[in-house]
Amino acid sequence: MPWKGEKDPYKIWLSEIILQQTRVKQGLKYYENFIKAFPTIEKLAKAKVERVYKLWEGLGYYSRCKNLIITARNIVNNHHGKFPDDYEQIIKLKGIGPYTASAIASFAFDQPFAVVDGNVFRVLARIFGVKKAIDLPEGKRHFNNLASQLLDKKKPGIYNQAIMDFGATVCKPAPNCIPCPFNKVCKARLNESIEELPIKSKKLAVKKRWFYYIVPEFQGKFGIIQRLEKGIWHNLFQFFLIESKKELGQAGILKEAERKKMLSKNGYQLVAVSSNRNQRLSHQIISGKFLRVKLKTSGKEKKDIIWVNSAGVKKFAFPKFINQYLREEGIV
């Protein structure tokens, strides 16, 4: 992986932000594309927001992208384009928590800060038989203290990378205990509690949401708007959205669209209705469908609408839920 052994704090930071909530195999392609497009933090800071979001498209958790832009501009404008080399200054940057700050401080600047990610939690919980929940403050403090005690203060970057890699290749969720150098002292193996560790206090409750999109067409162009609501897909683009707590039929969707002034009665023709679609996020399931309509007038009085043809649609960043529809309908 290209970020291993990297000393440039910008590249380390970029890789860590991309790999939050993202598998390495998926994140690698995005990392390479970002480095190619923005080889320096100055290039990223000067980039148009739309271009950055387009490159991020498909990675999810878009608040990461928003914070990436904010932090890049902060470093260029307030730190003369130089990444802070002190942990306390690094952790003050937007979107950077203890884990990412420790990674940057140790990998780029050889500062003695232990990195504790999911792999490290698993290794320490099993070898030392720690039964504290990793998602509660007490548990996090315990693991951070333990990791700091074990840290090689002279070579913190190499040590941190080693224990993370050990968790990724040997002490995996389904571990390979035979060649493990700790198999004679690992408390989880000795107590037959490998599958129980690490412990989480609770599972996230999964929320069900219904998203119904009205896809407006006028003279060969599609009307899109930016999603400004807080929460998922913030700042991405979409079509008119009817969100419901329950499943709606076609008539109910159109009636609601008229009530919300998205469509005017008798001012459109229904062209097509997609099948039901689903996308599971970490804590919610999005279900819904798309209703494609042809408008009799453009509705230009709605100033937040951007009218684009198929080629123009490709320039904007959409959530995966909408991108799949666009590809299947041959719009992009």
Would you give per-residue pLDDT tens digits along the chain (332 residues)? Answer: 888 888 999 999 999 999 988 888 899 999 999 999 999 999 999 999 999 999 999 888 889 999 999 999 999 999 999 999 999 999 999 999 999 999 999 999 999 999 999 999 999 999 999 999 999 999 999 999 999 999 999 999 999 999 999 998 999 999 989 999 999 999 999 999 999 999 998 776 788 999 999 999 999 899 999 998 888 998 899 999 999 989 999 999 999 999 998 998 888 999 999 999 999 887 889 999 999 999 988 765 566 899 999 899 999 999 999 999 999 988 87
According to CATH, what is the number of the domain 207-328?
Answer: 3.90.79.10
Q: Active site includes 192?
A: no
CATH architecture assigned to 9-196: Orthogonal Bundle (1.10)
What token pair was written down for 131? 């039964």
- Count CB-CB contacts under 10 A for residue 309: 12
Active-site option among 16, 192, 229, 256: 16
- The closest of 209, 208, 330 to 272, measured between CA atoms, is 330
Task: Domain ranges for the chain, please list them.
Answer: 9-196, 207-328
Residues 6+ apart with CB under 8 A from 249: none
Cβ contact 105:132 at 8 Å: no
Q: Measure CA of the first residue to CA of the last residue in the chain; give whole Å.
A: 32
Per-residue confidence (pLDDT) for residue 302, from 0 to 100: 67
pTM of the model: 0.80
